[in-house]
Amino acid sequence: MKLDIIIYLNQLITGELDPFYRLSSYVKTFWSTLIWVSMLLGPGCGIPPAVAEPSASIQFLMREPVTMMDWGLQNIEDYLYRQRDLLMQADKRLFGPEPNMAVTYDWEQNKIQVAITLKVASQVQLTSRDLAGIRTHLEWIIKYLRGTLTMKPYDAFFRHRGFRNQESPQNLGAELAGRTELLIRVRDADANILSQCKGGLTDHEIHWMGIGNP
């Protein structure tokens, strides 16, 4: 039976049957190769179908849920990224094209940290005037973020879209804002810290930190 089928297919491919049933040259070549390879390999030795499944690491990630904390941190980071030209004051050309922004949660300190690192543009000479301008700009970023991030309820970054969980703490926004720290740095071309400061989102003070090598 198998031999009869092979003979029939071979006749179909080589055109020995009615020309109406002739296949294109590309398909002929493909089927001819497939038939002869099958004959050489014998029954049960055909090419197995490609089968794949997620690895253990991928399966672990698939099971891990995204929390509203993850959602909120990413929302803040996305917001900062949209504001990057303003935060860098791109028109003054003091800083490089892209700032480094990271919004994370510190488990041990129970704090949300908003960290922004700017890199001085290559044409800046780092004169005393330039360094004073950088320091002034860092102060401005802290003040700007204190205003813009709290312009609406801070917990809005951490909410579901379209509804609010009735079990949400009433003071959630105030607590999250009180636990958020702003950290702003400026580095030179060699990654040395030229200036850095930090302050709480709801505070009024700015704390200047040591500078030099990272």
Q: Give 185-195 pLDDT, tens digit per residue.
A: 999 888 889 89
Task: Please tell me the distance from the alpha carbon of residue 135 to that of residue 214, in angstroms, as a whole number.
Answer: 18
Task: Report pLDDT for 88.
Answer: 84
Q: What is the mean pLDDT of residues 130-150?
A: 91
Structure tokens given for 210:
């040591």
Residue 176 has pLDDT above 60, yes or no: yes
pTM of structure? 0.70
Neighbours of 68 (CB within 10 A): 15
Q: Are 142 and 199 in contact (CB under 8 A)?
A: yes
Q: Are 103 and 72 in contact (CB under 8 A)?
A: no
Task: Report pLDDT for 214.
Answer: 41
* Nearest one of 211, 205, 214, 199 to 126, comparing CA atoms: 211
User: Residue holding tokens 């994370």?
Assistant: 104
Q: Where are the domains of the chain?
A: 2-41, 63-163+170-208
Task: Report pLDDT for 26.
Answer: 47
How far is residue 113 from each of residues 46, 66, 167, 198, 205, measured CA to CA in Å? 58, 19, 25, 10, 16
Task: Report pLDDT for 186.
Answer: 92
